[in-house]
Amino acid sequence: MFVDTHLHIEELGDATEVVQQAVAAGVTRMIAVGVNLDRSSNAVSLGHAYEEVWAGIGHYPLEESEPDLAALNAMAKDEMVVVVGEIGLDFEHVGGPHRDLQMQRLNEMFSLAVENDLPVSVHNRGAANEVLEAIKSHGGIRGVMHYFALDWEWAKKFLDVGFYLSFAGLVTRPSRDDLREVVKHCPADRILLETDSPYGNAQKRMGVPNRPAFLVDTAEVVAELRGITMEQLGDQERSNAIALFQKMK
């Protein structure tokens, strides 16, 4: 029924158990994302090993190593790669690559995505203005704001440039009224869901490593906020995922 559009399977232990548990819970498609070359390669391998899994290739903004653009570009041709991600900007973390270097790498990854006609999955922490300007500077770029956590004013700005918004366990926090308003007002055809496993826990699972099976915790809250059934949300979210990640079947 549902698609977990962003998770890190390799951090969850036995992949077979993780996938089987997810499918039993109604999460029938998953996108394993990479944060560097090795983990991107692993995501591709998982995509070939499990029919429910597709892959994202990327370079996390806080990675110290230089991205191997040639290798990532070659990997982008693989039939299981549906997105360039996880990529983005993180200006809140102390340490890591300088802002200018992060922005250079983001632009390089955006160019790689456009060249390969792939969407992007964008990490943003404390850099919304810069991310938005980078999107605008790359004609034809399409994608999703991963783990969306901003208010409706920012949501509109990313929706206006054609991006999708992906909601994770944060929306289940009773204190996040601003984010819940985004869920209520987001156009139906721009909503995606994710776990960001093993991170992004729902409120009722705080302190427990997240898993794709737990996506239903977030889905229940999103469906309630939008006044629709879980089945309706599942149908819409799956349709949205297939529309954005076009290699996904």
Position 32 in a domain = yes
Name the residue with tokens 């007002």.
185
Structural domain contains residue 243: no
pLDDT tens digit sequence for 19-70: 999 999 999 999 999 999 999 999 999 999 999 999 999 999 999 999 999 9
Provide the number of structural domains found in the chain: 1
Cβ–Cβ < 8 Å for 165, 188: no
Domain for residue 228, yes or no?
A: no
For residue 191, the model assigns a pLDDT of 98
pLDDT tens, residue by residue, 66-110: 999 999 999 999 999 999 999 999 999 988 899 999 999 999 999
Domain membership flag for residue 47: yes
Residue-range definition of the domain harbouring residue 49:
2-162+183-195
Residue 132 lies in a domain: yes
Residues 6+ apart with CB under 8 A from 200: 147, 168, 169, 170, 194, 210
Which pLDDT does position 136 carry in this prediction? 97
Q: What is the pLDDT of residues 144-169, one digit of tens each?
A: 999 999 999 999 999 999 999 999 99
Is residue 59 assigned to a domain?
A: yes
Residue 137 covered by a domain:
yes
Within a domain: 223: no
Section 171-196 average pLDDT: 97
CATH number for the domain harbouring residue 121: 3.20.20.140
Confirm whether pTM is higher than 0.95.
yes
